[in-house]
Structure 1
């Protein structure tokens, strides 16, 4: 079977042939290699060298570098062994005897899970996994630290029951925001805020990538990519990759394609700004309903939509009553 590697972006398929992903090429593995938030890197290095390593909570906007800093901190703690990863599928049994299959990424020194994938049964995953880890010993007897780290992704998506279970036996986890986490968990962790990078910091990273891959990146192009990405380094890497595929030398006028959801959001915002009235909402919804009902109903739908001082809720009821069973 032949495999094609690529990605879908803004209604277009980008195919990869004979090249590597940019973010794989410049992905950092040590705290010393990180280009921004140097004070945070220094603090993490100091903690990694300490004999008393605390529970930690990483939070900040998407694409700011939380995952990268966690991986670099693990490398600082345990060495290159943390990069030897394998993916296992663990089975957990809920109180109702339902089997829950969760993917777990692990090395000899840490384990990484996303228990929110289990939905309402995330408490079962948390309890069983922590109990299992607590009963096992460190595999490498020569490791710098005798403890094993648990990285819990999307901690802010955990249910209250799962957070309560986690509170008693925490190791380490990651989150976008702290407002959804219960106070006992936050108070038991050292909070590490990973802020979004600014335009200048993003340009430095992009130029470093270009230099490493041995091609010129015009300053105008790097600035355009950085400004469009809004502090999200993950988005910047995707945009950089897409532009590189379109224009290898990244010269001239560059058009950054927008993802479909962002285009539609802009259209909705434009409509809101153009006319702030219930009539605009009613007109748009009515046009869509007309497309989905029988010919015999279309005249009535538009008649009631055009009725003088008519409320949206009342019009919806009028349409739903006779069209019950006809809408598809």
Structure 2
């Protein structure tokens, strides 16, 4: 099964309207009310991967504009950087909205934000039958935007609100500047709990259709860690292994996750300065694939020893969370990665000596 097959499977059963969503009903009702109010604001949807942010954005667009937002086309736009370098960005759009991922342009995301949004904002809605007089702009991975791009976005939001509404999609708000957050209505989309995920998996199985044993569903939910998209992909992969979902089923781990667990094993097997250097300098910086971002190392590799060792302990996780903030604010991630490893090692070592860590920071 390739990625496109999986994506087709997910799109096939994705809810199309707010009333069809299976969880966070209060949030769905609020979005429906906003769409019908006639005073729709800029919005920021944030929450963990696989929680359903994009699905809720799509359903909100349908409530705003009708079924016309489902008639999509994909274009490739070329932008020129100040050094005349060509930047190719994929754009998904309908007559009523446009969806972009400026972070694809890397350090030149400001160019994409400035040129594309200015072009959209200065163009009025030409469809006289449109339910709204503005066009919606969906910005994916908003928390990956550079500071320059965020500053450009802020100015655009202030100047062109009459013809455009910005809908930001992000995993976290910590890397977004305050002026952007203050100009948006924040919508937190929390990860579904186990019961809600089981309802969705059973819905997918019923629509497919096939029988989903409860034990298999529970294994998938436990493995997915609250990521509903991952759970549906795993379900499809297991269905390819065994059409009746019986026998010995193996849930494959992605390469980056396996790599992160190996790094975590190094952290908990030895706590020493040399191991800090081996973990960060050799494993993370030199051997890790470029796509293995510091965030992944942070939340997966370094949280593995923390959650598996300390989850039954009552000590606060404030020292680790404060390091996460510093990692996002700092420019030299390797320094913060080293500090992170040292903190985890220290907590791990002191845990076995039953020491009071309340003052550890």
Structures share fold, TM-score greater than 0.5: yes
Q: Is the 8 A contact 2:266 2:279 kept in 1?
A: no
- Does residue 194 (structure 1) correspond to residue 181 (structure 2)? The answer is no
Computing the radius of gyration over CA atoms, which structure comes out larger, 1 or 2? 1
1:254 is aligned to 249
2: distance between equivalents of 1:88 and 1:68? 21
Over 3 Å counting, the alpha-carbon distance change for 1:275 and 1:135 in structure 2 is closer
Over 3 Å counting, the alpha-carbon distance change for 1:261 and 1:97 in structure 2 is closer
Alpha-carbon offset, residue 24 of structure 1: 2.6
TM-score after normalising by structure 1: 0.77
- Does residue 153 (structure 1) correspond to residue 143 (structure 2)? The answer is no
1:105 is aligned to 92
2:56 is aligned to 69
Q: When the two structures are aligned, how many residues end up with a matched partner?
A: 274
Which structure 1 residue ranges, 5 or more long, are not aligned? 1-5, 9-14, 289-328
1:239 is aligned to 234
Over 3 Å counting, the alpha-carbon distance change for 1:93 and 1:198 in structure 2 is same
1: distance between equivalents of 2:106 and 2:277? 36
| Map 1:44-55 → 2, pairs under 5 A | 44-55=31-42
Q: Which has the higher contact order (CA 8 A, sep 6+)?
A: 1
Q: Is the 8 A contact 2:267 2:279 kept in 1?
A: no
TM-score after normalising by structure 2: 0.71
Over 3 Å counting, the alpha-carbon distance change for 1:92 and 1:271 in structure 2 is closer
Which structure 2 residue ranges, 5 or more long, are not aligned? 158-165, 284-361
More helix by share: 2
Deviates more, 1:42-51 or 1:89-98: 89-98
Over 3 Å counting, the alpha-carbon distance change for 1:20 and 1:278 in structure 2 is closer
- Does residue 142 (structure 1) correspond to residue 137 (structure 2)? The answer is no
Superposed structure 1 runs of 4+ greater than 6 Å apart? 279-285
Alpha-carbon offset, residue 242 of structure 1: 0.8
1:316 is aligned to none
Aligned to 1:211, which of 184, 206, 214? 206
2: distance between equivalents of 1:174 and 1:20? 19
**Superposed CA offset, 1:72-128 (max 9, x none):** 110111111101111112222333333322211110000111111222221121111
Aligned to 1:179, which of 167, 174, 177? 174
